[in-house]
Amino acid sequence: MATTRRSRTTTTRSGNGRPAPDPEYGRLGREVQGFGEIRVLPIGLTEGVRDESCQALNEILADTTILYALYKKHHWNVAGPTFYQLHLLFDKHAEEQLELIDLLAERVQALGGVSVGDPRHAAELTTVDRPPDGAEDTPAMLTRLLRAHETIIGKVREAIETTETSKDWGSNDLLMGDVLRRHELQVWFLSEHLVDVPLIKAGTS
Ligand SMILES: [Fe+2]
């Protein structure tokens, strides 16, 4: 039996009213929720509070997306005698930032907002400095990462205060328990690589 090609927008196979099994590939629609709009969710927080939290969380999310990419860039480009150690450390930190991205994004959704998802959107919102497209030396990489952490930590501390005032305890707990502590730990691990300690002590007779 000859087969005929159906239109990509066909929704029923035979016109008998049954749903067709074909995926509706090719269909693009309007936005159902604009960025910055807040859905109604019955979690006991006003729309104003949820909006305020979403804005703060989305800014941190955008910065975190950029920091994740910065870690991967440095994971690939690091060079020198500490290559292997930093290669692994940068990847570990990147993975941990990736976990934070998911936690932050899902918190925005749980508040009824739309989380920043597209890296190009994140790039528009972030205040983390853009690195050169080429490769920097290792101390510059470490300094750049520390500055990015400091930028984000400043926003996280502000958001902790904001969410404490508004009693958005879910966001407050996430920001303090997961985000802030993870950043502080990563800053410690990075900073130790900028201490000029000789591997072998100079001999004194
Ligand atoms: Fe890798």
- Measured distance CA(56)–CA(60) in Å, rounded: 6
Using 50, 70 and 90 to split pLDDT, how confident is the model at 3? very low
Distance of CA 141 from the midpoint of ligand 1 (Å): 17
Query: Is 105:65 a contact under the CB 8 Å cutoff?
Result: no
Q: Which residues contact 97 (CB under 8 A, 6 or more apart)?
A: 64, 67, 68, 71, 182
| pLDDT tens by residue, 26-50 | 888 899 999 999 999 999 999 999 9
Query: Measured in angstroms, how far is the CA atom of residue 103 from the centroid of ligand 1?
Result: 23
Q: Which residue has the higher pLDDT, 196 or 120?
A: 120
Count the helix, strand and coil residues of the chain and give each as a percent rounded to the nearest 5. Answer: 60, 0, 40
**pLDDT, tens digit (0-9, with 9 covering 90-100), for 66-99:** 999 999 999 999 999 999 999 999 999 999 999 9
Centroid of ligand 1 to alpha carbon of 130 (angstroms): 21
Q: What is the DSSP-derived secondary structure letter of residue 131? A: P
* Averaged pLDDT for residues 54-69: 98
* Nearest to 53, CA basis, from 171, 178, 181, 161: 171
Q: What is the mean pLDDT of residues 166-180?
A: 98
Å from CA of 69 to ligand 1 middle: 12
How far away, in angstroms, is 92 Cα from ligand 1 center? 10
Please state the pTM of the whole predicted model.
0.88
Question: What spacing in Å lies between the alpha carbon of 51 and ligand 1's midpoint?
Answer: 37
DSSP per residue, 89-133 = HHHHHHHHHHHHHHHHHHHHHHTT-----SHHHHHHH--SPPPPS
Q: What is the 137 CA–ligand 1 centroid distance (Å)?
A: 19
Q: How far apart are CA 35 and CA 116, in angstroms?
A: 8
CA of 87 to the centre of ligand 1 (A): 8
Closest CA to 175 of 111, 122, 123: 111
pLDDT of 181 > 80? The answer is yes
Q: What separation in Å is there between the alpha carbon of 111 and the centre of ligand 1?
A: 34
Residue 16 is given by DSSP the state S
In whole angstroms, give the CA distance from residue 139 to residue 157: 27
